[in-house]
């Protein structure tokens, strides 16, 4: 696609055009108010467009959007489930509140947040929960900082330098451990798709600060040895961290706290249906067992005789993780979801998510896309393309079928990995349609390899030059970069 098909606002800009004109304000001129360092010497080059230009720009982009509202979206490990529209009504109920309001005048929202904390404690088997972190990786950081503070308080910070992660882990796990200052040791996956427990036990020592796991794993397989893993980790004084990205498989059925985990982060934008993709924003509550509670990010929301209030007196806290108290609009949506479904409903979510994944796993195998591990899966599974086909080409061809590809090339332990997570919100018909589309793609690859290699043909943007984009990224638009990119496209034909 050339820039002319969907011009940027900068390209639509014409000097003097305005979408809105702010009213004149009485008082001293702005030059006087901002005099000194705060006043720019040159006006910023903002796009100048009419309201209709602006509306058309964003409406055209919105029409090109690929989302769960329009299409099947089984992106593995991302839990791209449908976000019920009634949650928008719930969130709007609190839209007029301000975070600087006196807590006394905001008891309603605080009681809702307190209720959400309680529900998440019950669902994860943890003693206390903070809603502060703004995303999954942010929650991981909060959790690992608490673990480090705990070891420091025990005088063991210098001794404990290592964090163990399985080789199938989400990339954020080793990245977080590294950001908190730990060295990462990787443990391989065994032949049955579970973490190799013997290798894990060999890696344990009093130098280990924590073990980070997700259960079920990114391979969609439940770590059946989890109690043995937890006991072995605790025996050397290590803490067990639960990456909650895959909670959808077990919500209401099993609890990380009962498996022996000490810290849990949750992605409310996955399991609890708050908006995901397109910026969210995310929400990454963290739950801890009692021994880690003193380190929770301050302030802590507590309830006493005077109602809900903020406890700022937390001398051992790791400190604030974020301004205010998390992404409150999305916390409201998550609470609405939990309260609408109840515990029975949430159990049903986990059961249907697992059933849907297993159904699609078998249907895809019938179409020539076998699972990497020949066993039943949890909420997701990892498959491989038919012999001789590349996952990338299959993914591109799916776009022409009007369907979003699965997660590709992850986890790294499976070659040409296709990681599929349909979630509980897809119907039998859409699961069948997905498998059948993959069957057609396989036939296309044989019958017309050229058409297969040229996919996608029906999307607003055709196949991208991902190599050039990674090697020579152009991250900011300007007339000069625009010229350069157009030239590159012409070269490529």
- For other proteins, the binding residues (CB under 8 A) are 392, 408-409, 412, 415, 466-467, 470-471
Q: How far is the CB of 189 from other proteins (least distance, A)?
A: 15
Kindly state the smallest distance separating residue 396's Cβ from other proteins, in Å. Answer: 13
Q: 116 vs 417, which CB is nearer to other proteins?
A: 417
Q: Shortest distance, CB of residue 383 to other proteins, whole angstroms?
A: 16
CB of 315 to other proteins, least distance (A): 39
Minimum CB distance to other proteins smaller for 10 or for 409: 409
Cα angle value 208/213/215 (rounded, 5°)? 155
480 within 8 A of 423, measured Cβ to Cβ? no
How far apart, in whole angstroms, are the C-alpha atoms of residue 310 and residue 298? 9
Which residue lies nearer to other proteins by CB, 76 or 287? Answer: 76
Find the DSSP H helices in 236-386.
256-259, 328-366
**Residue closer to other proteins (CB basis): 5 or 466:** 466
Q: Which of 401, 389, 397 is nearest to 454 (CA)?
A: 397
Of the candidates 176, 173, 187, 189, the residue with the CA atom closest to the CA atom of residue 246: 173
Q: Is the peptide bond before 411 cis (omega within 30 degrees of 0)?
A: yes
- Distance of closest approach, residue 411 Cβ to other proteins, in angstroms: 10
- Minimum CB separation from other proteins for residue 469, in Å? 9
Counting Cα atoms < 13 Å in the Cβ hemisphere of 178 gives 9
Q: Look at the block and give the residue holding tokens 């019938």.
A: 366
Between residues 39 and 412, which has the closer beta carbon with respect to other proteins? 412
Interatomic CA distance for residues 321 and 285, integer angstroms: 11
Residue closest to 2 by CA, chosen among 405, 492, 403: 492
Evaluate whether 405 touches 476 at the Cβ level (below 8 Å).
Answer: no
CB of 65: closest distance to other proteins in angstroms? 24
The residue among 175 and 236 lying less far from other proteins, judged by its C-beta, is 175
How do the residues of the chain divide into helix, strand and coil, expressed in percent and rounded to 5? 40, 10, 45
Measured from the Cβ of residue 77, the count of other Cβ atoms closer than 10 Å reads 25
Nearest approach in angstroms of CB 183 to other proteins is 11
Q: Closer CB to other proteins, residue 466 or residue 490?
A: 466
Between residues 165 and 341, which has the closer beta carbon with respect to other proteins?
Answer: 165
Instruction: Tell me how far, at minimum, the Cβ of 172 lies from other proteins, in Å.
Output: 14
Closest distance of CB 357 from other proteins, Å: 23
Q: Take residue 414 and report the two structure tokens written for it.
A: 């499976």
Tokens of 433: 């349609």
Instruction: Specify whether the CB–CB gap between 420 and 361 falls below 8 A.
Output: yes
- Give the residue with the Cβ less far from other proteins, 64 or 415: 415
DSSP for 215-243 reads SS-TTS---TTHHHHHHHHHHTT-EEEEE
Q: Which is nearer to other proteins, 287 or 411 (CB)?
A: 411
For residue 41, give the 3-state DSSP assignment: coil
Q: What angle do CA 231, 217, 147 make, to 5 degrees?
A: 50
Report CA-CA distances (Å) from 106 to 88, 110, 115, 294, 299.
Answer: 20, 6, 14, 25, 16
397: enclosing H helix or E strand = helix 391-400
CB 211 within 8 A of CB 199: no
CB of 296 or CB of 408, closer to other proteins? 408
Q: Which is nearer to other proteins, 428 or 467 (CB)?
A: 467
CB of 390 to other proteins, least distance (A): 9
Q: How far is the CB of 415 from other proteins (least distance, A)?
A: 8
Q: Which residues does residue 273 pair with via DSSP β-bridges, in sequence order?
A: none
């Amino acid at each position: 696609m050339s820039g002319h098909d969907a011009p940027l606002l900068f390209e639509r800009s014409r000097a003097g055009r305005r979408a809105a004109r702010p009213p004149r304000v009485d008082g001293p001129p702005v030059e006087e108010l901002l005099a000194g360092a705060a006043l720019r010497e040159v006006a910023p080059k903002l796009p100048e467009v009419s309201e209709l230009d602006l509306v058309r720009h964003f409406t055209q982009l919105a029409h090109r959007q690929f989302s769960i509202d329009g299409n099947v979206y089984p992106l593995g490990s991302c839990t791209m489930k449908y976000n019920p529209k009634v949650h928008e009504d719930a969130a709007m109920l609190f839209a007029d509140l301000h975070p600087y309001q006196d807590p006394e005048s905001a008891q309603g929202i605080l009681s809702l947040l307190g209720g959400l904390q309680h529900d998440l404690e019950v669902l994860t088997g943890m003693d206390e929960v903070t809603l502060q972190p703004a995303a999954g990786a942010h929650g991981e950081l909060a959790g690992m900082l608490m673990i480090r503070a705990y070891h420091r308080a025990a005088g063991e910070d210098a001794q404990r330098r290592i964090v163990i992660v399985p080789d199938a882990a989400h990339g954020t796990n080793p990245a977080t451990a590294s950001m908190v200052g730990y060295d990462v040791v990787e443990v391989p996956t065994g032949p049955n798709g579970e973490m190799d427990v013997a290798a894990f036990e060999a890696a344990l020592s009093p130098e280990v600060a924590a073990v980070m796991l997700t259960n079920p794993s990114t391979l969609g397989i439940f770590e059946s040895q989890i109690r043995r893993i937890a006991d072995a980790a605790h025996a050397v004084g290590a803490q067990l961290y639960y990456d909650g990205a895959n909670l959808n498989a077990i919500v209401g059925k099993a609890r990380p706290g009962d498996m022996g985990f000490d810290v849990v982060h949750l992605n409310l934008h996955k399991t609890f249906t708050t908006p995901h993709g397109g910026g969210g924003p995310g929400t990454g509550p963290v739950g801890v067992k009692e021994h880690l509670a003193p380190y929770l990010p301050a302030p802590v929301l507590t309830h006493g005789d005077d109602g809900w209030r903020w406890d700022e007196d937390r001398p051992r806290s790791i400190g604030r993780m974020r301004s205010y108290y998390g992404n409150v609009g999305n916390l409201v949506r998550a609470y609405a979801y939990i309260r609408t479904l109840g515990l029975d409903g949430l159990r049903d979510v986990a059961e249907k998510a697992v059933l849907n994944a297993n159904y699609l796993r078998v249907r895809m195998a019938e179409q020539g896309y076998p699972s990497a591990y020949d066993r039943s899966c949890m909420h997701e599974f990892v498959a491989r393309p038919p012999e001789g086909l590349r996952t990338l080409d299959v993914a591109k061809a799916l776009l022409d079928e009007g369907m979003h590809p699965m997660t590709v090339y992850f986890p790294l332990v499976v070659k040409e990995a296709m990681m599929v997570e349909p979630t509980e919100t897809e119907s039998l018909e859409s699961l069948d349609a997905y498998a059948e589309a993959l069957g057609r793609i396989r036939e296309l690859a044989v019958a017309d390899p050229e058409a297969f290699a040229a996919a996608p043909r029906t999307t607003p943007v055709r196949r991208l030059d991902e190599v050039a984009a990674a090697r020579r990224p152009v991250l900011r638009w300007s007339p000069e970069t625009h010229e350069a990119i157009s030239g590159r496209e012409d070269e490529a034909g």
